[in-house]
Chain A
Amino acid sequence: MRTAVRLFAACYFVLMAIAVTFPGVRPFNTVYPLVLGLPFSFAWVVGWVIGAGIVFFLVYLAENRR
């Protein structure tokens, strides 16, 4: 269980690094549709940051279960 969560977290951050840098960010780098008033390109990064919070939380839960 713990190994699976660690692996998942590692994958998430590799994907994130690709998704927020060039060229990976290109398909999502548009103004519309606005998300909660923010341009899509902006909300895209915010989404990855919030997702990171969830992944960090899962790791915390998995590591603290002894």
Chain B
Amino acid sequence: MSDWRIVAAVVAAWLLANLAVGIIPARRSSRSVAGYVAGDRGFGTVLMYFVTGASIFSAFAFLGGPGWAYSRGGAAYYILSYGVLGMAPFLALGPWAARVGRVHGYVTQASMLAHRFQSRWVAIAAGSVSVIASLPYIALQMKGAGIVIEQVTAGHIPQWLGAAAAYGVVLLYVWHSGVMGVGWTNVFQGVFMIAIAWTLGLYLPYRLYGGIGPMFEQIAQVRPELLTAPGLGPDGAPWDPAAYSSAILVSAMGFMMWPHLFMKAFAAKDEATIRRTIFLFPSFQVFLVPLFVIGFAGVLYPNPPAQPDAVMPHIVLSSGMPELVVGLFCAGALAASMSTGDALVHGAASMAIEDVYRPLAQKRVGDEERRTLIRRVALVTGVVGFVIALTSGRSLVGLLLVAYGAIVQLAPSVYAAFLWRRATAAGVVSGLVIGTLITGLLVVFPELRPFGIHEGLVGLALNLATLVIVSLLTRTPDGAHTSRWLAVSRGLSTPPEEVVSA
């Protein structure tokens, strides 16, 4: 057993380095809300690439990915499948959103929807759904950070303390630097986690089995059912192909609806930057390959880990590597967790203030005051996520699926905003409410799900149907406003009709 104190020292050094990287850039963004939330719309390609990539690849990918490959085999391919499918629609949506955002001054997607549909209730509904969906996702990141630290220090630092230390650092730099802190730490964390994943993913199979090919040949002899889709379900029986396929579709549709991703369309410098980020993204996505390989390496391993999510730290610890390497691995896993957690905390807090608090309070709130409120809510969000992480019995994947079921409910409203002139505020709000309630109901009573398909997909279908029916039953919205708005989104005209916020 390696000396846990050396590992703990490496981890502490890593956290301090993050703090430094996160706090230094704050001097360069303005003190406004647009500066704190959207980085003054000045993100270039390097920042955008790492913010998008690193905030997508979370503790879920780093621990849950290998955990799934290890325990459920081909089921893990779903995680690899949905990313680029989800990114594709953003080729159109991203530039549209960036243009209306620039002209009308939006910093969140809910404020964009509210202005398009001319109703503050749209902002409140969309903002609430985003915040609710973010909480289990934040909890997942904290739990992941806690698991890793607990494992590599042989239990000397318990899960809650590890999670608290990592997220204490995150909250400090989010508080101080806003989106710029998130951006630069993500560059740092992104480089680190990719390097660690590829090194371990190529090295471990050679060390343990003499190569990647020989490893899979051995698995094919003993447990061939693990190597093809849909792999195994949580109970160890073959997974349902319908569940596998619907998990891909729901995740793909929900993917870019995450506030911390969608809002980056408002942070990008220009449309070319958005498209460049998109074409570079698959290079981040293939980073799942070494992670799955590490998970598969655990299949033939003589002594199993305590839980599938811990397969990666388990292999790293028991293959007799030096403490420094174990510490660096741990830092990589923390990077994955923190790079998503920071963006989520920041995104959720921004939406809670901009989209829920402001429309409800209905009074003028100064720029400086809003920034202060966002910071305070970021702290509250962190604490709530921490409580969920400590009290929830769900696995990392369980938490993620709940979060995706909720966030995907934004998709019909966002698409309707850009594609369907006849959609009304009443339609959008009732669709969001129905979709979220149905999804929540099916999470609590999973036996009601038809054909085992993902609860988010059922909610989505009813959400869409409600949106269409209610829109057709309510009064046609102001055609002139809609036409102007759509013209701006397509880049056909740029009339500064009115500015939502400075």
- Name A residues whose Cβ lies closer than 8 Å to a Cβ of B: 9, 13, 16-17, 20-23, 25, 29-32, 34, 36-39, 41-42, 45-46, 48-50, 52-53, 56-57, 59-60, 63-64
Q: A46-B80, A56-B279 are in contact. Are A13 and B229 (CB under 8 A)?
A: no
Q: Give the A-B contact count at a CB cut-off of 8 A.
A: 118
User: Given the complex, which residues of B lie within 8 Å of A53, measured CB to CB?
Assistant: 84, 279-283
A20 to B285, CA, bound (A): 15
Question: 1/0 per residue B278-303: CB within 8 Å of A?
Answer: 11111101100100110000000000
Cβ B88 vs Cβ A39 within 8 A = no
30 contacts between A and B (CB under 8 A): A9-B88, A13-B84, A17-B248, A21-B244, A21-B245, A22-B230, A22-B245, A29-B228, A30-B228, A34-B216, A37-B205, A37-B212, A38-B212, A38-B216, A38-B293, A39-B220, A41-B74, A41-B228, A45-B81, A48-B81, A50-B286, A52-B88, A52-B282, A56-B84, A56-B87, A56-B91, A56-B281, A60-B272, A60-B275, A60-B276
Question: 1/0 per residue B220-233: CB within 8 Å of A?
Answer: 10001001111000
- Name B residues whose Cβ lies closer than 8 Å to a Cβ of A: 74, 77, 80-81, 83-85, 87-88, 91, 205, 211-213, 215-217, 220, 224, 227-230, 241-242, 244-245, 248-249, 252, 271-272, 275-276, 278-283, 285-286, 289, 292-293
User: Given the complex, which residues of A lie within 8 Å of B252, measured CB to CB?
Assistant: 17
Cβ B212 vs Cβ A49 within 8 A = no
A46 to B224, CA, bound (A): 19
A32 to B228, CA, bound (A): 10
Residue ID in chain A nearest B215 by CB atoms = A37
Residue ID in chain A nearest B283 by CB atoms = A53
Q: A50-B282, A53-B282 are in contact. Are A13 and B88 (CB under 8 A)?
A: yes
A66, chain B: closest CB distance, angstroms: 10
Cβ B91 vs Cβ A9 within 8 A = yes
Cβ A49 vs Cβ B278 within 8 A = no
Residue ID in chain A nearest B275 by CB atoms = A60
User: Given the complex, which residues of B lie within 8 Å of A9, measured CB to CB?
Assistant: 88, 91
A20 to B124, CA, bound (A): 36
Beyond the given pairs A37-B211, A53-B283, 18 more chain A to chain B contacts, judged by CB atoms under 8 angstroms and listed by A's residue number, are A17-B249, A21-B244, A21-B249, A34-B217, A37-B212, A37-B215, A39-B216, A42-B227, A48-B84, A49-B83, A49-B84, A50-B286, A53-B280, A53-B281, A59-B275, A60-B276, A60-B278, A63-B275
Cβ A49 vs Cβ B275 within 8 A = no
A50 to B87, CA, bound (A): 13
Cβ B244 vs Cβ A13 within 8 A = no
Cβ A31 vs Cβ B220 within 8 A = yes
Cβ A20 vs Cβ B248 within 8 A = yes
User: Given the complex, which residues of A lie within 8 Å of B217, measured CB to CB?
Assistant: 34
Residue ID in chain B nearest A57 by CB atoms = B279
A48 to B241, CA, bound (A): 19
Cβ B213 vs Cβ A37 within 8 A = yes
B270, chain A: closest CB distance, angstroms: 10
Name A17's contact: one of B74, B85, B87, B227 (CB within 8 Å): B85
A39 to B69, CA, bound (A): 13
